[in-house]
Amino acid sequence: MTLIESSIKAKIRRFIKDNFLINFGCNSLNNSDSFLKKGIIDSTGVLELVSFAEKTFNIKVEDEELIPDNLDSVDKIASFIKKKKS
């Protein structure tokens, strides 16, 4: 994992922790966990997360990019942001 990717993940984790009051680690959320399967974020939560990513990383998420492959875990979001930034 690069320094940039690790920094992106840290910011996303922080946002999730502060806004959805979810702790990372045992019995809670890991970076690879699916938000869908864990049921911890609802549809507006995903939108808040996208809005946060757009502002924080200065990217524009297109409507057709709102899919699980890009957004459904901390790992996937970080990888998506990295791809958008490159």
Partner 1 sequence: MNLSAFIIDSACKYPDNTCVVHDSNRFTYFEIDRLSDILANTLIENGLRKGERVVILLENSAEYIISFFAILKTCGVAVPLNTQLVSRELSYLLNDCSPKLIITNSQHQSTLKSLTNPKSILLIDKLNLNKKSIPETYNLEPISGNDTDLAMIIYTSGTTGNPKGVMLSHQNLCANADSIIEYLQPSASDKIMVVLPFYYSYGTSLLTTHIKVGGTLVIDNRFLYPNVVLDTMKKEQVTGFAGVPSNYIILLRKSALRKYKLNNLRYVTQAGGAMSPAMIQEFIKTIPHIKFYVMYGQTEATARLAYLATEFLENKLGSIGKAIPGVELDILNEQNQRVKTGETGEIVARGANIMLGYWNSPEETAGVLTKEGLRTGDLAYKDEDGFIYLVARKKEMIKSGANRISPLEIEEVACQMPGVLECAAVGIPDEILGETIGLYVVKSSINLSKNDLLLFCKQNLAAFKMPKVVEFVESLPKTSTGKIKRLALTGDLQ
Q: Which segment (3-11, 38-46, 52-60, 74-82) binds partner 1 by CB under 8 A? A: 38-46
Q: What is the DSSP string of 2-64?
A: -HHHHHHHHHHHHHHHHHH---BSTTSB-TT--HHHHT-S-HHHHHHHHHHHHHHHT----GG
Does 74 participate in binding partner 1 (rule CB under 8 A)? no
Does 60 participate in binding partner 1 (rule CB under 8 A)? no
According to CB under 8 A, which one of 9, 35, 53, 78 is a site residue for partner 1? 35
According to CB under 8 A, which one of 44, 55, 60, 86 is a site residue for partner 1? 44
According to CB under 8 A, which one of 1, 7, 47, 58 is a site residue for partner 1? 47
